[in-house]
């Protein structure tokens, strides 16, 4: 860095004061700079220091995880622990004072429940939190059911990250936490998904059948040889056929045909019930796969 006053390159940085100073003319180029590095301090009697154990910024929290938390020791008396628990309750309430903060906090709590039921990682929850904040900023969420908006965003992010979650799975989870029936939840999910994808300018890719294979085989408790054969059958199916059928239905048909190849005792109704597909649809798709696939 060059000093704008004297043109000297003898600029040093004082980390303790957060300043950058020219050693030739004494000009302070930068002051009160924030140090983003983790905090270290040495413990008594030890040479090495330890890092700050704070969680840092967390987009899945309404206050980004920067709010203070009140704790207490179990060594205290029951009376003191009771007092501190009441203080903790009021402290949590004071972290969200305005209606905007309270509604955002409740929405993120609901999001945590949905992600937990759908066994989605925290990275998906973080991305959904970012998109939900953008939707609130663009005033897309007012007047819409929060559960439906969160479920639609989960569906979009899962598709974008190639995580196999079907519409029916998300709709079932939505109906479990809302007053909607499963069919109504599915309609609401599709309607809100289209609105969010358009308003937030998101491209939702079409899933591929192979993305569902491993998960479906695990749910059916089938051996690895059937898993490998299902992948081979799925790869041999023409792309034109796979583009016309639902991806999860093609994956279910490939698994059923692979199980038949190994003479497994898996019944078509068991496969349909576990994978939540229709028996007639699965039977028809399985016959078409046997017709188009090179393995039959």
**Is the pLDDT reported for residue 226 higher than 80?**
yes
**Is the pLDDT reported for residue 52 higher than 70?**
no
Q: What is the mean pLDDT of the chain?
A: 84
Q: For the whole model, what pTM was predicted? A: 0.71
86-113: pLDDT as tens digits: 888 877 777 777 778 888 989 999 999 9
Tell which wins on pLDDT, 39 or 209.
209
Reduced to 3 states (helix: H, G, I; strand: E, B; else coil), residue 12 is strand
Please report the pLDDT score of residue 111 as a whole number: 94
131-188: pLDDT as tens digits: 999 999 999 999 899 999 999 999 999 999 988 889 999 999 999 998 889 899 999 9
Helix and strand numbers, DSSP H then E, in the chain: 12, 5
Reduced to 3 states (helix: H, G, I; strand: E, B; else coil), residue 21 is strand
d(CA 253, CA 281): 9
29 close to 21: Cβ distance less than 8 angstroms? yes
113-129: pLDDT as tens digits: 999 999 999 899 999 99
What are the residue ranges of CATH 1.10.472.10 in the chain? 99-199, 210-292
**Is the pLDDT reported for residue 80 higher than 90?**
no
Nearest to 213 by CA among 228, 198, 225, 223: 228
Please report the pLDDT score of residue 190 as a whole number: 94
From 1.10.287.1260, 2.20.25.10, 3.40.50.1820, 3.40.50.2000, which CATH number describes the 1-36 domain? 2.20.25.10
- Percentage of residues of the chain with pLDDT beyond 70: 84
132 close to 111: Cβ distance less than 8 angstroms? yes
Q: What are phi and psi of 12, to 5 degrees?
A: -115, 160
From 3.40.1390.10, 1.10.472.10, 1.10.540.10, 1.20.120.1730, which CATH number describes the 210-292 domain? 1.10.472.10
Please report the pLDDT score of residue 37 as a whole number: 61
What are the residue ranges of CATH 2.20.25.10 in the chain? 1-36
148 close to 188: Cβ distance less than 8 angstroms? yes
Tell which wins on pLDDT, 19 or 16.
19
Please report the pLDDT score of residue 291 as a whole number: 85
Beta bridge partners of 21: 12, 28
- Give the pairing of strands 40-42 and 49-51: antiparallel
153 close to 131: Cβ distance less than 8 angstroms? yes
- Which CATH superfamily hosts domain 99-199? Cyclin-like (1.10.472.10)
Please report the pLDDT score of residue 250 as a whole number: 92
CA distances from 287 to 47, 253, 282, 292 (A): 71, 8, 9, 9
- Give the pairing of strands 28-30 and 19-22: antiparallel
234-274: pLDDT as tens digits: 988 988 888 888 899 999 999 999 988 877 677 888 888 88
């Amino acid at each position: 860095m060059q000093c704008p006053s004297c043109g000297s390159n003898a600029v040093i940085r004082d980390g303790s004061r957060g300043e950058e100073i020219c050693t030739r003319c004494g000009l302070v180029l930068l002051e009160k700079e924030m140090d983003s590095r983790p905090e270290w301090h040495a413990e008594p009697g030890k040479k090495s220091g330890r890092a700050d154990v704070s969680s840092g910024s967390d987009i899945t929290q309404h206050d980004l995880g920067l709010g203070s938390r009140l704790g207490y020791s179990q060594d205290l008396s029951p009376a003191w622990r009771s007092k501190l628990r009441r203080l903790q309750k009021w402290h949590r309430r004071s972290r969200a004072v305005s209606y905007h903060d309270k509604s955002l906090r409740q929405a993120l709590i609901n999001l945590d429940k949905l992600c937990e039921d759908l066994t989605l990682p925290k990275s998906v929850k973080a991305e959904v939190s970012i998109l939900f904040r953008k939707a609130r900023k663009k005033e897309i969420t007012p007047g819409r059911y929060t559960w439906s908006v969160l479920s639609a965003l989960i569906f979009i992010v899962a598709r974008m990250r190639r995580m196999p979650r079907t519409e029916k799975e998300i709709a079932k989870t939505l109906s479990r936490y809302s007053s909607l029936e499963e069919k109504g939840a599915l309609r609401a999910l599709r309607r809100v998904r289209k609105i969010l994808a358009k308003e937030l300018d998101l491209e939702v890719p079409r899933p591929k059948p192979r993305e569902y294979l491993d998960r479906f085989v695990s749910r059916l408790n089938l051996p690895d040889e059937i898993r490998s054969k299902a992948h081979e059958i799925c790869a041999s199916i023409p792309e034109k056929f796979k583009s016309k059928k639902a991806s999860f239905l093609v994956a279910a048909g490939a698994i059923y045909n692979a199980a038949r190849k190994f003479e497994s005792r898996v019944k078509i109704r068991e496969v349909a019930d576990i994978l939540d597909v229709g028996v007639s649809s699965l039977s028809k798709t399985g016959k078409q796969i046997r017709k188009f696939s090179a393995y039959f």
